[in-house]
Structure 1
Amino acid sequence: AEDLFSKHGFYGVTIREVAREAGVDTALVHYYFGAKRELFDAVFLRRAEVWNSERVDAINRYAEKMGEAMTLEGVLEAFLRPPFEWSLKGGPGWKHYAALVAQTNASPTFGGETMARYFDPAIRRLIELIAQVLPGSREVDLYWAYHNLSGALTLTLGETGRLDRLSNGLCRSGDLETAGDYMVRFAAAGFRAVCGSSDVRPA
């Protein structure tokens, strides 16, 4: 199911197709998961729990170790590294999941509700720590800065190949080690720029 959802999206997959790929009867899928949305939620939750647990543990360990010496880059590195590592080393299932999260985060129908349900507690903890290393930041600026990071993160983990073509092969979207390093630097600069000024200028 995860592979199918990641390739075709929620609306492009039927329970019958999921059952066929799993080699089971459609009734069995309905028995264990109910409707398609319940199956999708079960697929989404399974790896979200791993991502969230590792990210929250990582930033909490970093905060405990560094105390007042925490840096913005350090907090972001601790939070961002786990999903990159899983996608790099966790096998095809984690690649499929990263693509699924990217699709869901961009979905105007149920993406916001789904992402909020599974990821908001971890993200709120991240924002708490960023507020500590950027004292005086306005709450509205912190949330807008994270909103931009969220889109960049899920697009990058989706490995769409867009960057490969845009850069004529100079960069590879599958080079997640490099992408992670750039993400930390880019996000840190963005948070500082947004949270260091209340002057918002239209494009």
Structure 2
Amino acid sequence: MRADGAGAVGAAILFVLSVGDERPPNWKTCRTRFIILILHPGSLCQPAFGRHLLVAPKSPRRAGTPKSSARSKSEQRAETMQQILDAAETLFSHHGLHGVSLGQVAKAIGVHTSLVHYYFNDKKALFDAVIERRAPVTATRRIEAMNAYEASVGGKVTLEGALHAFLDTDLDSYRTGGEAWRNFGALAAQVANTPEWGSEIMNRLMDPVVIRLIALLKKAMPEMSDEDIFWGYHFVSGSLIMTLARTGRIDVLSGGLCHSEDFASIKRRMATFMAGGFRAIYEQERNGTTPL
């Protein structure tokens, strides 16, 4: 700045910030001590002291969103939360719970780590929120599909029908849900194989779906023991989780003949294969035969 006119002033501000408690969404109370150096030609610098400033952390703006668009605080909060969850879901699906830090999540969406801490106390809280965002969606869809199937056949349930209702709806969710559901599928597979990461949440959200399927299977095979039905479900869930993980393993083993992304081919085969397994177990137990 030039200081050669009457009353001309040049100013330099030095900020030393320490973040304090959060105020309502998107506002932080920053205790800010600053020194303003007022420069007059031929005079010494004289300090002036301020007290506090309210500083709003800048929420990341999605591409295509006009800067001038007026949004409520709740809309800004929802958008920020969505971006944090999306970034965390992607990172967790690739690196697992312990391979990701809150700093990495913040960096992925271009914000300071303190903003992520504002919404989530720690990494496990963020991980749980990621699971709880989509798991209820797939659970609700499958229960509705099984209810609709049972009503459509007047209670005359078959193994194939029950399994299609349980499996196909889920496969469609992951097939048509884009990258987001692909990431969640991979994450769900990790949680299924690492119970300490989120077994309580998955049990709470998914158990009603399993119990509904078990009820249908019992209707389809009333002569089958509960023990065999539950073992059958155990094998069903393992196959489904492996499929949702889309590891590409079958692509390599088959020399490109089969693809883990080919959910249409999976839907044509999976329920039939599993129904055959249930029947084989039943026949084995009924006849008292021993597998070779």
Which TM-score tier does this pair reach, normalised by the shorter chain?
over 0.9
Q: Which residue number in structure 1 is paired with residue 238 of structure 2?
A: 151
State the shift of 1:137 in Å: 1.8
Structure number having the greater strand percentage: 2
Question: May I ask how many residue pairs the two structures share in their alignment?
Answer: 203
Distance 2:278 2:217 in 1: 9
TM-score by length of 2: 0.65
User: What's the counterpart of residue 162 of structure 1?
Assistant: 249
1: CA distance between counterparts of 2:274 and 2:121?
40
Dislocated runs of 4+, deviation >6 Å: none
Pairwise mapping of residues 1-203 of structure 1 onto structure 2 (< 5 A)? Answer: 1-110=88-197, 112-198=199-285, 199=288
Cα distance in 1 for residues equivalent to 2:166 and 2:195: 26
Decide whether aligned partners of structure 1 residues 108 and 61 sit closer, same or farther in structure 2, where only a CA change above 3 A counts: closer
**Amino acid aligned to 1:10:** L
Q: Is the partner of 1:95 in helix, strand or coil? A: helix
SS in 1 for 2:93: helix
Rg bigger for which structure? 2
Unmatched 5+ residue regions in structure 1?
A: none
Between Structure 1 and Structure 2, which shows a larger proportion of helix residues?
Answer: 1
How far does residue 88 in structure 1 lie from its aligned partner after superposition? 1.6
* Bigger relative contact order (CA 8 A; separation at least 6): 1
The Cα shift of 1:200 comes to 8.2
Residue identity (%): 44
TM-score by structure 1 length? 0.92
Displacement of 1:152 after TM fit?
0.7
Distance in 1 (alpha carbons) for counterparts of 2:204 and 2:284: 31
Tell me, in whole angstroms, the C-alpha distance in 2 between the residues paired with 1:178 and 1:185.
12
Q: Show CA shifts across 1:70-126 (max 9, x none).
A: 211111111111221122211110111111111111115335444322211111111
Q: What is the distance in 1 between the residues matched to 2:115 and 2:126?
A: 12
